[in-house]
Amino acid sequence: MASSKNPRRNRPAPRSSAENRRAGRQFLAASALGALNTANARTPIARQGGVSIPSFFSGWLTSEMPLHAIGWQALSTVAWARRGALRTPAGIAALGINAASWVALARIWKEAMSQDRILDAALTDAFGEDFEGARLVEPNVTRKRVAKGPLTQWKRRYVNGPALSYGDAGRRNQLDIWSRPDLPTDAKAPVLLQVHGGGWIIGNKDQQAMPLMAHLVDCGWVCVSINYRLSPRATWPDHIVDVKRALAWIKDNIADYGGDPDFVAITGGSAGGHLCSLAALTPNEPEFQPGFEDKDTSVVAAVPFYGVYDFLNRDGTGRDDMEQVLADFVLKSTPAQAPQLWDHASTMSWVNADAPPFFVLHGTNDSLVPVEQARSFVSMLREVSKEPVAYAELPGAQHAFEVFDSPRTIYSAGAVHRFLETVRARAGHGVEPADSTRRAHLAVVPEDRRIKGTTSMKYHVPGSQWYDRTTAEVWFDTVEEATAAGYEPAGGAARQKVPD
C-alpha cells in the first residue's frame, strides 16, 4: 500500500527574498565586527584612554586563540548560509570579509608559533650561545593543550592542601603551595614566588601564571602563589609589604614543603610585574618591611611579565592616564603631595648594580602597559647591573598573554624555565640532565595505530632523587621508523644519547 505521506511536507518552507536580504545584511554586519576584532588583534585600536581596555580584552583573547576565532567565524558563516545570506550580494561580501579575516588570523597563529626563536635569542643574548639551560627541551605545543586554552584546571593537579596564611590580613594574606605529590619534604627544590596582577585593585592567586607554575612543578620545582592586600581598602605600600612578608614566610617555612629557602626566585604579571621587580631590587629594605626588618627577603632572580616600572612616568614611556588612578585609589596622594612615596614606589628608582638576574618579557601589542616602558627599564638595568638582563619583546602579544595555554604561553614557560635553571646552575644549585641521556618509551595508539615515542629528560634535585619530565612526543608511522630514530619498542624503556 503506497504511503500517503508527502516527503516535501517535512521540508522547511523556502525563505522569501526579503528574509534572505535581511540575513545577508545581518551576516555582513557580523562579519565586519569579526574582521574589526581580528584587525584589533593584529594592531590594537587604542593604547591610551578608556578604549584601550576593551581593545585589550578582545585583542588578548583573539591573539592567543586565533584558531578558535577561525572556528567560530566558520560556524557563523555556515549558520548564515543556511538562513539564505549567501543568496544576496551583502552575504557574498560578508563571505569575502570572513575569508580575509581567516587569512589574518592564520598569520597571527603563525607569528605565535615562531616566538620560541625570539625567546631563545633573548636568553642567548643574555648568557651567550652555550648557556646552561639551552639543553633543556621545550614543552610541547599540543593540539589538546591549545584547544582547551583557559579551561585547563591546573590548580587541581598541583595544589594538594588548603591555602596557608603568611600574615594577619585574612584571605588577602593567604598563599597556595604548588608541588609534585611525589616531591620529598627534604628535596630542597628550587622555589618560585608568583605575584598576581590586577592594577593593585583586583585579582587573586588563582588567575595568572598557572601554565608556568605547572611546568616548573613538573620539573621538580616548588611554586608559591599569593594573595596580597588590594586598593582602595589598602594604601601603598601595603601591597609591597605583603610581598615582602610572603618572601619572609617562604624563607622560614618552605623547607617543610620540599623547597630550598636558599634559592627563591620571583615572578609576576602587570601590577605583579611591578611588585616582583620592586621586591627583587629592594632586598631587606626596612621601608618595605615594617616589623620584620631583620628578615631576609632577597631573591636570586626576577621574571616580570608586562610590568609597570615607573609611577612617575619620568621618561614619558608610561600611560598618560595612570597617574590619576594611582593617586585616587592606590597611593591616595599626588606626586606633588608625596614625592618620596611616589619615587620609592617606582621600580626604576631602585635600579642598582647589585640587582639579581632579570628576565623581562613584554608584548608589542600591549594596550594596558606600553612596551616602551619595558624597553626603558631594561636599558636602565643593563647599564648598571652586574648580572645578566634578558629581554624578550614578543611580536603580536597583548597584555596578560601567559594566563592560559597558547603557543606563546607554552614557549614562554619553557624559556623562563631555561632562564631559571641557568641562574641556578651558575649559583651552584643547577638541575642537570643525567649523564646527558634521555629515556625513551614507545606506545602504539589504538585510534590510528601510529607509533608515539615519548622522550623524558631526567632531572636531579640535589640531596634527593631523580625525576622524569616528559618533554617531547614524536610520532612515527611504523615501528621500523621509530627504531631507526633511536626508540626501542621492546622492553618499555631505552637509553637515548642527547645530541651535543
Residue labelled with grid coordinates 600574615: 167
- Under DSSP, is residue 350 helix (H, G, I), strand (E, B) or coil? helix
- Dihedral pair phi/psi, residue 354, rounded to 5°: -95, 15
- Under DSSP, is residue 225 helix (H, G, I), strand (E, B) or coil? strand
Grid cell locating 295: 628578615
DSSP β-bridge partners for residue 223: 178, 192
358-363 and 389-394: which strand pairing?
Answer: parallel
CB 139 within 8 A of CB 409: no
- Under DSSP, is residue 419 helix (H, G, I), strand (E, B) or coil? helix
CB 79 within 8 A of CB 86: no
Give the relative orientation of helices 52-64 and 17-42 as an angle to the nearest 10 degrees: 90
Cα atoms found within 13 Å of the Cα of residue 21, Cβ hemisphere only? 3
Kindly report the length of the chain. Answer: 500
- Edge-first strand order for the sheet with 494-497 is 466-476, 451-460, 437-444, 494-497
The amino acid at residue 429 is: H
Grid cell locating 192: 618560585
Cα atoms found within 13 Å of the Cα of residue 197, Cβ hemisphere only? 24
Cα–Cα distance between 263 and 190 in angstroms, integer?
Answer: 5
First CA to last CA across the chain, in angstroms?
Answer: 81
CB 126 within 8 A of CB 389: yes
CB neighbour list of residue 4: distance below 8 Å, 6 or more residues apart: none
- Under DSSP, is residue 44 helix (H, G, I), strand (E, B) or coil? coil
DSSP β-bridge partners for residue 191: 222, 264
CB neighbour list of residue 6: distance below 8 Å, 6 or more residues apart: none
CB 136 within 8 A of CB 421: yes
- What are the residue numbers of the active site? 270, 366, 399
Grid cell locating 375: 624597553
CB 62 within 8 A of CB 36: no
